[in-house]
Chain A
Amino acid sequence: MLGIASPELALAYILCIAASVLCIIYGIIKWNDSGPLTEELRDLDQWAPGPQDD
């Protein structure tokens, strides 16, 4: 497949691209997700660029 003799190594080639796509999709879905915030975290969270800065 793809000119690569070993099916295992062709899989590695495809998985590299798949892992990169996973990172992109995760980053887009979670773009504005700060997770659960305690008071301490909320204070610090204000320093992070928010949706208005994107």
Chain B
Amino acid sequence: MTVKIILALLYLGVVFYLGYKGWRETRQASDYMLAGRQMNPFVMAMSYGATFISTSAIIGFGGAAALFGFPLLWLTFLNIFVGIFLAMVFFGKRTRRMGLALDAHTFPELMGRRYDSRFVQGFAGLIIFLFIPVYAAAVLIGISRMIEVGLGINYYVALLAFVGILALYVITGGLKAVMYTDAFQGSLMFIMMLILIVATYYLLGGVTDAHQALTDLAPQMPAKLKAGGMLGWTQGAVPFSPLWLVIYTTIIYGVGIGVLAQPQLAVRYMTVASDRQLNRAVLFGGIFIIIMTGVAFVVGALSNVVFFKHLGKIAVAVAGGNIDKIIPMYITQVMPDWYEILFLLGMFAAAMSTLSSQFHVGGTSLGRDFYEKGMGSRGRAGLGVTRAGVGITILVTLIWGLFLPPSIIALATAFFFGLCAASFLPAYFLGLYWKGMTRAGAIVSMVGGFATSFFFLLFVHTKESAAIGLCKAVFGVDSLAAGAVKGSGWWLLQFTDPNIIALPVSLVLALVVSWFSAKMDQEHLRLCWRNL
């Protein structure tokens, strides 16, 4: 235990040194918000990767992989192909160039200036500020569960202490501090996960033998999961069964596509000085992500075999039904002591790198985008309101972290990713590529996508509508789809992610309204396209 604490303090010492270095180099708003637009490609790629991959991906989705098995590998594929390749090559370069032409400092500011609309910037800033704490809380729960299992510290004490440490360097240091610490933390995570996959495959006799053992474990799949449509961990699920819809529409589609419109990731494209740094970031990112989510999902699924061999129970039974505890318990019960320490520090790193970016983007969304630009309070705000925004984001995250139920990490993450996709993705993508995209098209698409997503969340998608209770209060049922004929398309909607509906609605609204509404001023479009 003493060794664990000494190593944890040493790790925190390095983090605070890098945070201090970032703070020393932060002199103006562009430093605080964009790291001076001169970030090293390795730091940018590791920061993007470490922000993208958090305890949510490793502990939350790793736990989901223990429950659902290899179908989650489709999410790893999307994480790499969409989250790195398409994101950097087709979104990143144009975002960087247009962001520079429009002197945008944040993702909402890029949107606002592309459409020459304070409403667009303020609305985007408000959505991010209001809902990023839910995603941040998922990450916070992940690390707090790891500290609880790994160090034996009370869950709520871990939650409060971790937030306190983070607040110190995010509020003061800005994006430079965040990105320097990210790069260090990303490197630590990479080493940790590489060891984990090698050890797990070695433990189970190699790649094919390990997978075969998991295939043979299918009869142990719990009856409740079988009733929902699961066939086995390497067999997948019955197409269009309730659990198939949860896996493919919420976990894979929601997160896999939602990554393209993540404000805390999009802002990183604007921190580099050249396209060639984004090209290099594709290489670093492609390696980093497969070692992160690929390993987490494979090990999560294979933990069933290891637990069954050692304890005669599958993973979810060992964790007492809370899938957020599966990966921490696998590490503490199966891996050697020295690795447990490394993993704990790696999880510190994964949580800190993501949370710091979430807090930073929450603060800039309130301070710069909503208050300063959306509300037109220019000149009186500056970094003060942004720093206050960071503080409020941290506080709201803490409240969500204290009250969200167990087994929530993957779902809370998917909620934010999906909401961002439905609200921002069509206006963002079309804004980068289509001069015919209009201000009215962007506003209707963003508001329509958000409203559709929220309507389905409150009244149709049972997972949330039953928990929120508004549908029950108004209509007397948990979901408007609950009374439909079992197996019909309308009945299946209660298991289908809201954004399967909301994203296409948002896209159609963007195209149709832009087609019929007043075109943007040619001079303004020339400015937007100046560097493209």
Contact = CB atoms under 8 A, between A and B. Distances in A.
Partners in one complex: yes
A3 B305 CA distance: 13
Chain A interface main SS type:
helix
Interface string B275-291: 11101111111110110
A16 B76 contact: yes
Given A4-B70, A17-B290, A26-B89, A41 B97 contact: yes
Contact of A12 (B38, B74, B280): B74
Given A2-B207, A16-B294, A32 B276 contact: yes
Interface stretch (B123-131, B162-170, B229-237, B375-383): B229-237
B202 interface: no
Given A2-B207, A47-B273, A16 B73 contact: yes
Interface string A23-42: 11011101111110010110
Contacts of A3: 207-215, 234
A41 B77 CA distance: 33
Interface residues of B, number: 54
Contacts of B234: 3-6, 9
B402 interface: no
Given A12-B74, A40-B101, A48-B277, A19 B81 contact: yes
A19 B285 CA distance: 11
Nearest to B72: A12
A5 to B, nearest CB: 5
A22 B85 contact: yes
Interface string B56-76: 000000000000011101101
A15 B79 CA distance: 11
Contacts of A45: 273-274
B326 interface: no
B105 to A, nearest CB: 15
A48 B276 contact: yes
A19 B282 CA distance: 11
B531 A38 contact: yes
B84 A40 contact: no
A27 B279 CA distance: 5
